[in-house]
Amino acid sequence: MSILVVGSVAYDGIETPFGSIDRVLGGSATYISLTSSYFIDQINLVGVVGNDFADADINRFKDRKVDLAGLQINNEGKTFFWKGKYHYDLNNRDTLDTQLNVFEHFDPVIPASYNKPKIVCLGNIAPALQSKVLDQVESSDLVILDTMNFWIEGAKDDLKETLRRVDVLIINDSEARELSGLPNLVKAADAIRAMGPKILIIKKGEHGALLFTNSSIFSAPAYPIVDIFDPTGAGDTFLGGFAGWLGRSGDLSDDNFRRAVIYGSVMASFCVEKFGPERLFDLTNAEIADRYTEFRALSAIPLQTDNSF
Amino acid sequence: MSILVVGSVAYDGIETPFGSIDRVLGGSATYISLTSSYFIDQINLVGVVGNDFADADINRFKDRKVDLAGLQINNEGKTFFWKGKYHYDLNNRDTLDTQLNVFEHFDPVIPASYNKPKIVCLGNIAPALQSKVLDQVESSDLVILDTMNFWIEGAKDDLKETLRRVDVLIINDSEARELSGLPNLVKAADAIRAMGPKILIIKKGEHGALLFTNSSIFSAPAYPIVDIFDPTGAGDTFLGGFAGWLGRSGDLSDDNFRRAVIYGSVMASFCVEKFGPERLFDLTNAEIADRYTEFRALSAIPLQTDNSF
């Protein structure tokens, strides 16, 4: 029972209205694997770092029992570095610096010990690389893919090719509109699900998320956060919580996909409370359970009463 | 047991990507009163129309048993006319024409038979006029107010004065940010509730609505509509359903405010299915009840399971 996580491992520089940090552990595979480590024990990470990657950061993964047999250490260069700045409302950010470094020629290799995962999490990397990962996976119960507007615009054919092999796609609302060419999200969801993924999650930031399956639509609320400190990694954290719960429960029913969306939302709501992935190191089971309960209370619609229609 | 509705009665010209109509019954008091007439029998309308107001339109109110003793007919001019055009995504509209006509000097007079309503619905008119209505109301259980950015920007002092006398404020998210000066909606809600209204509803269009009370926050989903035909009046229709349910049930508990938000959302989701207020003339009780049930299913979060945290 394991989750295979493929994506970037990086250092991030982050500026928000509430402070800044020059260099903190980041990357999609980092957020996904740290998050899903709260749900099951066997998290197998595939990624690449450079000669500047600190032992202390290796240990942060090990402390969370993330398996690093698939983490390549490329001594020819430095670790992927990204720097961004968030604006006042935290909904928009500018990229100030991107140094791909060793990530530029990342060639994911899946160790033999990883090739029968229960769940495959394809973090946001080039669609052709995501396909290459799937070529190396012998069997799995579920393939989950994240992508972004950069690939929708620049590698649409590759993306469509990869989507045919995917069970769950997680994107945001503007990406869903761009990928489908349709402004109405319900119509966009139909069009995208016809491309391959039977399960589609459309993230809407401060407005929650929508889950589309064969049999229903689920509207998940957003947690009403007073102090968002740093949104970095929230989307990857969502994916980690979503996949983690499915791995832990082993249940791929519609109702359980709803639970998975809420666990993803729960974990993302914690992530934004501190800079970088800090909050993902000190969570307790009770905190996770309590926040799930808060989500239920937040969106509970009472039954109709006797004087209803 | 009655609802007092004060606002505009108008003719609208509407252009959407799906068609256009030169002249259709419109105005906030129209949508509110027609909608709430599905919930209770005694709906008392206060407004003004001009010498061009058709008998056929008077009869449309009468058919829905809306009391028109408070509808002034000013033979010196024409009925308020508004013309607007919706864009491709239906989230934005341009006003093409506004002829205030007899509405320019509207002076709401509350008939003696109307001055002890259970609920007062103050549709979107000048805050000073909304106060003037309240001056004439002898007693009521609940005062609900709608407003817009035009008054927040142009009559903020009047609005703040009026808000002190209001129990429920219904505005959209950009208006909440503008009124409070705060980008975070949870903080904005705290600031606005400190201005008077203990109950605040923030409408978020295609993202649903938030209800803030003393004891909780409720996140209501939006109905996933495939074919929005015409958004005109959806906000007023929400108010009509919200107030209508509270009037019908006579229950001002937090749980029942949640039901009221859903009934408001239900009615608004019907409203946008046809041009103008057309859909508000042929609804059945079964349609309303069924859609309420659909809203519950849409946002139902399953309980945690044994292998949860």
**B44-85, pLDDT tens digit by residue?**
999 999 999 999 999 999 999 999 999 999 999 999 999 999
Which of A148, A92, A104, A99 shows the shortest CA–CA distance to A124? A148
- Residue A247: its pLDDT value, please? 97
Question: Taking 80 as the threshold, does the pLDDT of residue B91 lie above it?
Answer: no
Beta strands B209-212 and B199-203 are antiparallel
Tokens at B119, concatenated: 């609920």
| Residue B212 counted as domain residue | yes
Angle between helices B234-249 and B28-36 (to 10 degrees): 40
The per-type count for chain B, helices as H runs and strands as E runs, is: 10, 13
Q: Does B1 or A252 have the greater pLDDT score? A: A252
Cross-chain CB nearest to B298 (options A204, A217, A255) = A217
Residue B133 tokens, joined: 């209505």
- pLDDT of A167 above 80: yes
pLDDT digits 0-9 by tens, A66-100: 999 999 999 999 999 999 999 877 778 899 999 99
State residue B93 phi and psi, 5-degree precision. Answer: -140, 150
DSSP secondary structure letters along A206-275? GG-EEEE-SS-EEEEPPP--S-----TTHHHHHHHHHHHHHHHH---SHHHHHHHHHHHHHHHHHHTTSS
CB B23 within 8 A of CB B13: yes
Average confidence (pLDDT) over B213-221: 97
pLDDT the model gives residue A1:
79
Q: Looking at the domain assignment, is residue B308 inside a domain?
A: no
Residue B304 lies in a domain: no
The pLDDT, as a whole number, for residue B10 is 98
Q: Which of A86-100, B18-32, B147-161, B265-279 has the lowest mean pLDDT?
A: A86-100
Averaged pLDDT, B167-185: 95
As a whole-number percent, the residues of chain A with pLDDT over 90 amount to 92
CB count within 10 Å of CB B113 equals 12
Which one of A186, A224, A299 has the shortest CB-CB distance to B224? A186
Beta carbon pairs, A and B, within 8 Å: 122
Spatial separation of the C-alpha atoms in residues B71 and A36, rounded to whole Å: 62
Query: 3-state class of B59 per DSSP?
Result: helix
Contact B184 A249 (CB under 8 A): no
Q: Which residue, A301, A235, A261, A34, is CA-closest to B262?
A: A301
Number of H helices, E strands in chain A: 10, 13
- Residues of B with CB below 8 A from A172's CB? none
pLDDT in tens, B293-307: 999 999 999 999 988
Q: Say which residue the tokens 């001055």 belong to.
A: B115
Does ipTM exceed 0.85? yes
Determine the pLDDT at residue B149: 92
Residue A306 placed within a domain:
no
pLDDT of residue A9: 98
| Contact: A292, B308; criterion CB under 8 Å | yes
Q: With bands split at pLDDT 50, 70 and 90, how would you rate the model's confidence at A308?
A: confident
Distance (Å, rounded) from C-alpha B302 to C-alpha A296?
A: 8
Report DSSP letters for A122-159, one per residue.
E-SS-HHHHHHHHHH----SEEEEE--HHHHHH-HHHH
Contacts B286 to A, Cβ<8 Å? 309
Contact call for A220 and B301, based on CB within 8 A: yes
The order of strands in the sheet holding A80-86 is A19-26, A10-16, A80-86, A93-99
- At A194-216, the pLDDT tens digits run 999 999 999 998 899 999 999 99
Report CB contact under 8 Å: A206, B185: yes
Residue A299 token pair: 């969106």
Q: What average pLDDT does the structure give for chain A?
A: 96
Give the nearest chain B residue to A203 (CA atoms).
B207
Q: What chain B residue is nearest to A261 in terms of C-alpha separation? A: B301
In this prediction, residue A132 has a pLDDT band, given cuts at 50, 70 and 90, of very high
B91 located within any domain = yes
pLDDT score recorded for residue B308: 84
Contact A304 B289 (CB under 8 A): yes
Query: Would you say B74 and B102 are in contact if contact means Cβ atoms under 8 Å apart?
Result: yes
Sheet strands side by side (includes B93-99):
B19-26, B10-16, B81-86, B93-99
Closest CA to A281 of A267, A261, A263: A267
Tokens encoding B292 = 């309420």
Q: Is residue B305 part of a domain?
A: no
Is B306 domain-assigned? no
Q: Could you give phi then psi for residue B219, rounded to 5 degrees?
A: -105, 110
Of the candidates B183, B217, B285, the beta carbon closest to that of A309 is on B285
Residue B216 has pLDDT above 80, yes or no: yes
CATH number for B82: 3.40.1190.20
Helix (H, G, I), strand (E, B) or coil at A33: helix
Best of B87, B88, B91, B219 to disrupt the A interface by mutation (most A CBs within 10 Å)? B219
**Residues B25 and B57 sit within 8 Å (Cβ to Cβ):** yes
Question: Who's near B93: CB < 8 A, 6+ residues apart?
Answer: B84, B85, B86, B87, B231
Task: Judge: A226–B307 Cβ closer than 8 Å, yes or no.
Answer: no
Chain B residue numbers with beta carbons less than 8 Å from the beta carbon of A300 are 218, 258, 301
Cα separation, B243 vs A165, in Å, equals 49
In chain B, the N- to C-terminal Cα span, in Å, equals 49
For B280, the domain range is 3-299
Helical axes A127-136 vs A156-163, angle rounded to 10°: 30
Give residue A306's pLDDT.
82
Check residue A101 and give left, alpha or beta (phi > 0: left; psi -120 to 50: alpha). Answer: left
**Could you give the number of structural domains in chain B?**
1
pLDDT at B89 over 80: no
Residue whose tokens read 């009124």? B179
